[in-house]
Amino acid sequence: MSFDFSGKKVLVTGAGKGIGRAVAEKLSQCGCKVYVLSRTKSDLDSLVDDNQNITSIVADLCEWEETKTKLEKLEVLDGLVNNAGISGHEYAAVDCPREYIYKVLDTNLMSAINCSQIVAKKMIEAKVKGSIVNVSSIGSVGAFPKGLPYHMSKAALDMVSKQFALELGPHGIRVNSVNPSLVMTPMIREVIDKGIHVDEIITSRSSISRLLELHEIVNPILYLLSDLSTMVTGQAHVVDGGCLSNITTKA
């Protein structure tokens, strides 16, 4: 799919690695001016060195006021990709500490609300139409073991998309979620190479029988950011190779 983001300006959070990095790179290749945010400066430095039109912002999204201060200095944007997140699969539900739950919610949910508020307010004031995409998960509708805070955060993030879509629609700002299953990022490849076969959980339920490659979630994100989706808002877009739609993969 061919995209043209010439003259557009988009912020991507969690852009140091994985999905966020791939989205930032593709946007840059499509002519977009991209702001990338991560708390790891070295990851952002290598991204800026390798790509044109990319500006880095080092920030910890769990620090609400610090993030707000830095993002309010940005020019008016045309789009935002709330991608930052952590897995949150360390404790059984009956043992999950309150502090850990709040850590995951701060990273996966509250940061997206904060960034959306800041970016959207500037867009409204400048009367700029645009798009916000929240990177959610199939974990928003289906549970995995030891995933209480993660699944809470992603289910809530889908509702955040709907709420913002309702209230920002009159200003010409669309808001959607993308809900991928497991994506073959460098981190996931490393986990599998260590003999931890998280991929088998997904592929055993997917009729396509493999994990997503990075471009297979990057393209849906760019579609939702682009003018190709001008009447799409308030939706959760599942990209999972049929994982959620099957009781069995055997015909």
Closest CA to 205 of 240, 249, 142: 249
- Report domain extents, the chain: 9-239
Task: Assign 251 a pLDDT band (cuts: 50, 70, 90).
Answer: low
Q: Active-site residue among 9, 26, 33, 150? A: 150
Treating both helix axes as pointing N-terminal to C-terminal, what angle do 111-126 and 148-168 enclose, rounded to 10 degrees?
10
One-letter amino acid of 173: I
| Residue-wise pLDDT tens digits, 205-232 | 888 988 999 999 999 999 999 999 999 9
For residue 248, pLDDT beyond 80: no
Summary mean pLDDT of the chain: 94
One-letter amino acid of 4: D
What global pTM score does this model have? 0.95
Domain at 9-239: CATH architecture: 3-Layer(aba) Sandwich (3.40)
Residue 9 in contact with residue 131, Cβ under 8 Å? no
- In whole angstroms, give the CA distance from residue 10 to residue 119: 10
| Residue-wise pLDDT tens digits, 147-189 | 999 999 999 999 999 999 999 999 999 999 999 999 988 778 8
- Does the annotation mark 129 as catalytic? no
- Does the annotation mark 154 as catalytic? yes
| Residue-wise pLDDT tens digits, 51-100 | 889 999 999 999 999 999 999 999 999 999 999 999 888 899 999 999 99
Q: Active-site residue among 154, 162, 194, 250? A: 154
Sheet holding 54-58, edge to edge: 54-58, 33-38, 9-13, 79-82, 130-135, 173-180, 236-239
Task: Assign 191 a pLDDT band (cuts: 50, 70, 90).
Answer: low
